[in-house]
A and B are shown apart, each in its own frame.
Chain A
């Protein structure tokens, strides 16, 4: 049975050109980028070349890029790096990734204050609300660029302008957008921006934080003087190289929107009582999050997987079981609606044929699930 992948917001496959060069980079450029000898210099060159490529892709200076182990570390470095400098106040939203929300919860435990802004029914944070939440002691605003579950894009430039006016540092978790759609840190007005390599063709284990010149971070890790003393630890040269190459290939996922629309329209046309969560908002070109009235999203994910289609629902807890999405709940969906929602996220390798067969599988699956839930109600 063939297996098709429609879960690119969880992670994307390594890009073919990256895959081709990865073994060679690992095998030949094995020096420690901090070493002074030939091997060290070769590694350093690869690292810095990657830094330049990544910087160019988001419109910043290479010195403003700090490589990390991934998006979570980038988010943590941003939040703790600013938050722990002195007691203060952080403004964020209820739809952030756990890498931000859990870090906020930890800041609260350490005595800092955090305000979680609500979002609209369409999943968008309101810049005016954020402005009104500002306090004299506010030292950080953090709002994600695009939401991983709904794909809804947040008004980052507007919030950036508010932050700048208030003199507050502004961080954005751009894990779902960086490397996928055109993005410029200056236009967005961010001081800090998190990126993750594996979302756009690099392997897992590499990420980066853009740190605007002049912003001082308290480090998370203590050790050697790597990354201009902002992130200790021997650099992941091959990972950085891969992330730089993936960023430089400038793969624009905007070309995926017709395919996503084909999937969305196909499903909406064929199945009654389906709603697009965040459907009226500006969204990532590859994502659709659908609420299928009367079905368990978790069951649908398993049923589709057993037929060869990988999609996702809610967020996995430590055991692997699914809990209702905090993002959908924050958008005002009921727990039942949240549990009935399934995310489809496309990537460059998906084809029209795959999408069409996915539509058929979804039609069958929803019909079956609804028959069962009707029988259940009758049974009660």
Chain B
């Protein structure tokens, strides 16, 4: 019997196809679903639509059905406590601190490729496989594990995977990294998977309908914090007060819709300051930045930055990596100098450095 591989199964098409694919290749596999968040935890946010969301009973039902179809043992494991500690609470804290966090990166770094990897090891699986779109390979000369963008660049998820350590990479398989999405769909149909036609979800899994502000309000309410404390003013960059708001966390840099301000030119959020609860708005040009500083860097394919180097830098998930110069700072941070100014550099989001399809490193925008 070959070594056991634990497949992280969400009930979606991608991870289901991974399970079927590895089974067909003759691997000894077990399916596991992480129960991360109780969708009924914040009842006022619960709508009929939440039933089809992450960690919902419907998803578990789908994953179980796929496991049965593929013919593998299947388990649901409870990581709700760890998820709240490592992902949800920091997500809320970051928003309140005026930054726009990416919980998927935290989840990948602290849950899927940490707790889940440990759990897999616990149950006897040396490796895990997920439905992420990314490629991992080993540089035979240096022995270093490297990450590359997915062959299907439109599905590439390396923006969320930059936090993986060498140890984590050495035990992780991304079988979909070399495939385009349509091939995965075709495979799912070929395997006759019950979820082959299931719609994809793009939203943050624990936030119903993508409404972060409502989620944060409701989470704070549960923790006994008053909503009045977060109210403040909306200022124009020229110094005029142009409106009021009920919480700076309702705004994110680059946001245009929902400001509730009448103005001749389009206005965008250009900064949020949680200390004074001030939201600053201005014209599109004010959103442009040429430099940014990245902290908390994890070096993936490279081991570090001994000197200034050229790279393409991505500052949002759907952002096309932009040419830039990386300048090492003394304390391990990196200053990124873009060739062309970039729009809406958002503190709290990730910045990922690429050299071609190689993922060099990633970190957090200050």
Contact = CB atoms under 8 A, between A and B. Distances in A.
B118 A372 contact: yes
A258 to B, nearest CB: 31
Contacts of A321: 35, 76-78, 80
A369 B77 CA distance: 16
A132 interface: no
A369 B30 contact: no
A369 B120 CA distance: 11
Given A319-B57, A368-B122, A302 B35 contact: no
B73 A306 contact: yes
B187 interface: no
B78 A302 contact: no
A341 to B, nearest CB: 15
B123 A302 contact: yes
B60 interface: yes
A296 interface: yes
B210 interface: no
A372 B122 contact: yes
Contacts of A353: none
Contacts of A319: 33, 35, 55, 57, 60, 76
A302 B75 contact: yes
B30, B64, B75: which has the most chain A beta carbons within 10 Å? B75
B77 A376 contact: no
A369 B122 contact: yes
Contacts of A323: 78
A299 interface: yes
Contacts of A296: 119, 122
B121 interface: yes
Contact of B77 (A298, A307, A368, A372): A298
B134 to A, nearest CB: 23
B171 to A, nearest CB: 13
B21 interface: no
B-side interface size class: 20 to 34
Contacts of A322: 77-78
A322 B35 CA distance: 9
Contacts of B60: 319-320
B4 interface: yes
Most A Cβ at <10 Å: residue of B57, B64, B121: B121
A273 interface: no
B332 interface: no
A303 interface: yes
B4 A302 contact: no
Nearest to B60: A319
Contacts of B76: 319-321
Nearest to A319: B60
A296 B77 CA distance: 11
Interface in B114-161: 118-119, 121-124
A321 B77 CA distance: 5
B35 A303 contact: no
A303 B57 contact: no
A280 to B, nearest CB: 30
A305 B118 contact: no
A317 interface: yes
Interface in B60-107: 60, 64, 73, 75-78, 80
Most buried by A among B33, B64, B123, B124: B123
A300 B77 CA distance: 12
Contacts of A299: 77, 119, 122-123
Nearest to A316: B76
Interface-central residue, A298, A305, A323, by most chain B CB under 10 Å: A298
A376 B124 CA distance: 16
A82 to B, nearest CB: 31
A298 B78 contact: yes
Contacts of A320: 60, 64, 75-76
Contacts of B57: 318-319
Of A298, A299, A320, chain B has the most CB atoms within 10 Å of the CB of A320
A318 B60 CA distance: 10
Nearest to A1: B1
Contact of A305 (B4, B55, B73): B73
B122 A306 contact: no
A303 B77 contact: no
Nearest to B75: A302
Contacts of A369: 122
A3 to B, nearest CB: 11
Given A319-B55, A319-B60, A303 B78 contact: no
Interface in A333-380: 368-369, 372, 376
By Cβ-Cβ distance, the 8 closest A-B pairs, closest first, are A299-B122, A321-B78, A321-B35, A320-B76, A302-B123, A321-B76, A303-B123, A319-B60
Interface of A: 296, 298-300, 302-303, 305-307, 317-323, 368-369, 372, 376
27 contacts: A296-B119, A296-B122, A298-B78, A299-B119, A299-B122, A302-B30, A302-B32, A302-B75, A302-B122, A302-B123, A305-B75, A306-B4, A317-B35, A318-B57, A319-B33, A319-B35, A319-B55, A319-B57, A319-B76, A320-B60, A320-B75, A320-B76, A321-B77, A323-B78, A368-B124, A369-B122, A372-B118
Interface of B: 4, 30, 32-33, 35, 55, 57, 60, 64, 73, 75-78, 80, 118-119, 121-124
